[in-house]
Structure formats: C-alpha cells, structure tokens
Amino acid sequence: MSERFDAVDVIRTKRDKQALSDEQIDWVVDAYTREVVADEQMAALAMAILLNGMTREEISRWTNAMIASGERMDFSSLSRPTADKHSTGGVGDKITLPLAPLVAACGVAVPQLSGRGLGHTGGTLDKLEAIPGWQASLSNEAMLDQLEEIGAVICAAGSGLAPADKRLYALRDVTGTVEAIPLIASSIMSKKIAEGTGALVLDVKVGSGAFMKDVENARELASTMVQLGKDAGVTTVALLTDMSTPLGLTAGNGLEVQESVEVLAGGGPSDVVELTVELAREMLKAAGKDDVDPADALKDGRAMDVWRTMIAAQGGDPDAELPTAKEAQVIEADADGVVTELDALAVGVAAWRLGAGRARKEDKVQAAAGVQMHAKPGDRVRKGDPLLTLHTDTPEKFERAAEALEGKWAIGESADDRPDLIIDRIS
C-alpha cells in the first residue's frame, strides 16, 4: 500500500522547528509500529524533538497515537473506583509495595502495572520476585478478578499496551534521546491512560538519584504529564519529591521488600511512611474517597492483610524467608560527628554493581544484593560505627561497589537542614 507521508519530510518538519500536524503524528507513530519507518529515521525524529521540543497539542496527539497502537484496558465493571501511581524512579524507592495494598484497604482498587529496573534505579517487579513463588505475569482476566476480589494487583504490563512505546523507548535508550521531555511524558502517560485507570498520581523525583536533577525540569515534566492526563479525562496530580538522598534505609530487591513489610506492620523508616501515606491520600482524593485516612489502615493492620492476600494470589508465600546474601562488607564511619551527606546516585550505583540491578534488559539480578544504610544525613555517628553494609553473593563485586561510594558520604559537626521530602504539588 502507498504511504500517506514520507518519513524524511516529517523529520525535516521538526528539524526546521515547525509543529507536526495531527496527520503526520498519527502516521509516523503507526508507520514506526508497522516497521515502515526505520529505526534510524525515528532516531533522527527523536533527536529533532529533543532539540526543538513540541507544543502541548503535539504532545497530546503523539500520546494518543501511542495509545492507538495497541489495546486499552477497561475497569468500569469493578465495584469500586480505580487509582494508580507512577514514579519516575529513584534509589530505595519501594513505595509501590506498601502503597498498593494501603489504598486498596481504603476502598479504591489499584491496577499497578510495573516494570523492571535498568541501571541504578530498581524495578518493582524485581523487588517482588525476591518473594519465593511470586509471579509477575497475569492475564487481563486474572488481573480484573484480583482487583475485584482483593483490590490490588502489581504485575507486568502486557505486550498489547502501547506497543509503539516499547519500540521507541528502546531506541531512545541507545540514541541519546531519553531526556526529551515530550517523549518521556508521552511514554509514561500513553501506558497509564491505555491501562484504563480512573485516577493517576505521579511521583516525579528530583535530585542526584533521580532522572530529573533539577526542580524546574521536573516541574515541566510533571506539568506536561498532568495536562496529558486531563486531556484524556483521567484525574491526574503530581508530587515533586526529593531524591538527593535514598528513600528509606535499603537499596536492593529483597532488602526493600523487608523494609516494605516493616512499613505495613506499622514501623519502617519515617520518610518511606510519610511518602506512602501522602501518595495514598492523593490517590484516594483523586478517586473521590477523601473521607478515609490511610494512616489508620497502616496502624490497624488492614493494609498488611491486603498485602498478604495480594502476594498469595500471585503465587507468593508472604511468610517465606527472603533471600540473604552470601557475603557482606561493612563501611565504617571514619570520625565522630553528624552524617552531612549520603548521595543517592552513589548508593544506587553501588547496589547495581553488587548485583541488584542490570546493565542490559536481559541481565539477571540478585535478589539479596544491595546496600543497607545504618545512618543518613542528620544522624549522629561515632568513629567505627557501621555506616553502610554491602550485600552480594559475588564478593568480587565489593571493590567496584565501594569505589562508587568513595567521596559520596561525609561526616561533619552538624548537618544542613534537609530539603522537604515533598517539594511541590501540581494538579
């Protein structure tokens, strides 16, 4: 069949800083999905978008074209409203694990389609696969049944959701165009809108351990995504949250599951509890259930009950012992004083090098590898106290992991005031 457009003409339009027409956008996304537009041509267009940007109308149309490349899920048959959360990724970001059962315990269903980690940011599915027997893959029918019966599901997204994004995401990763805000926003929102949730809360991380290093770029990304949600009729709100220091006291798959269970049991690090509860409040409000305080469901055990049922429904044993690393190495404080710095990116890279993350999609991860933090900025330590413990099954990895942390933590007489965990709210 003859094509309506020529890929080179579309590339030239954006190269010359002009807006793409609706018809050009619809065609190029569809043609790329059909492999009519070659990878090198889409790479050139992605670079032109990175350099020259897109209007709000272009981004909205591009997102719709990505959605139209695949199926759309429908949760309208459920007996309760739905709300989902998306995080742009960080170090120690295990919030999805306690958050999904917590929101479900308050009467809102959570269809949480999650991914795997790449590089220094951990993946939710990798964390949950540290639980013996737990399965990430569910059919759409099984997912719907679990949402109705239990109220929460965390699973892998099916291949039918926004397949254009799957191809484009992989291409951006190897062509230096990951940072294009229009493409980040449309990538995230095409999958979330196609997923069919009624409300969406975005956790946009800011800081050294986040994809977005500065507040202004993070705010631009958040605003763009909130607008895309609004255009699609999905109630959407975004929180900008600090990622200059890791979340919680662990970075690594099994370690983060254990910490999440502590939060569900009414304990856990204060920053993880704070962000979990605040995101839950936003999700409940967006779904029209703001008369319930999620903090109560943490205290009285309802969230833990949903967690145990949710894990068991996907083949996991909530009572099983989590994997323990064969080897551990302690990094000690080198002076008396107060921890003034602990860089999130450095901790994430160390956990990755220990085996908790992957450099390529096909790499396997170690369930027990990672970094345990015994003190964070503001905490007082004495010389010789354990500061960090590195965990791995492969001790030859210790050296490079420790190298990532060199010069990335500091002890002084007093710590500067920490930035607020929640920096801004965009709705």
Strand intervals (E) in 72-130: 84-87, 110-114
Candidates 85, 116, 172, 205; catalytic one? 172
* Given 191, 219, 289, 302, the catalytic residue: 191
Q: Is 274 exposed, middle or buried (0-12, 13-18, 19+ CB in 10 A)?
A: middle
Candidate list 60, 69, 87, 187, residue with the active-site label: 187
End-to-end CA distance of the chain: 44
Q: Give CA–CA dist 335/338, Å, rounded.
A: 9
Collapsing DSSP to helix, strand or coil, 321 comes out as: coil
Distance of alpha carbon 110 from alpha carbon 268, whole angstroms: 22
- Active site includes 391? no
AA identity, residue 235: T
Q: 94: helix, coil or strand? A: coil
358 to 144, 177, 413: CA distances (angstroms): 31, 20, 37
Residue with tokens 């709300």: 83
List alpha helices for 69-177, DSSP H: 96-105, 124-128, 140-149, 163-173
Q: Which two tokens stand for residue 186?
A: 């449309």
Q: Annotated catalytic, 165?
A: yes
159 as an active site residue: the answer is: no
Query: Catalytic amino acids?
Result: 86, 165, 172, 187, 191
